């Protein structure tokens, strides 16, 4: 029960903003279709991993939720560069001018 609550809150505070941030950056960069596909693949693999970690490491989840909510941390940094699609996505997003060096 508690882990479901944590997962729900984490999803609302981190996963949804992460997905919105990725979509906005991909759109702003006018990224090719392959980057858009890579972003979907990356988020598909990473969201469950992040939710699982949030339910087992509540302190980690709370600190990242707070950091991202107030702008201290970039939600993109939560992604695992080694996951399918993530390396390509992160590389493209880091090259985008004005992506907010938060």
Angle between helix 16-28 and 86-94 (nearest 10): 60
Per-residue pLDDT tens for 33-70? 888 888 888 888 888 898 888 888 888 888 888 888 88
pTM of the full structure: 0.72
Residue 97 pLDDT more than 60? no
Q: What number of other Cβ atoms are within 10 A of residue 7's Cβ?
A: 18
Q: What is the CA radius of gyration of the chain?
A: 13
């Amino acid at each position: 029960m508690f882990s479901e609550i944590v997962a729900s809150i984490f999803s609302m505070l981190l996963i949804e903003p992460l997905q919105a941030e990725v979509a906005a950056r991909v759109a702003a960069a006018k990224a090719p279709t392959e980057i858009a596909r890579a972003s979907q693949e990356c988020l598909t693999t990473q969201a469950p991993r992040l939710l699982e970690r949030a339910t087992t490491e509540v302190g980690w989840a709370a600190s990242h939720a707070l950091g991202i909510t107030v702008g201290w941390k970039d939600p993109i940094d939560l992604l695992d560069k080694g996951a399918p699609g993530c390396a390509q996505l992160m590389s493209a997003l880091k090259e985008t001018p004005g992506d907010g060096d938060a």
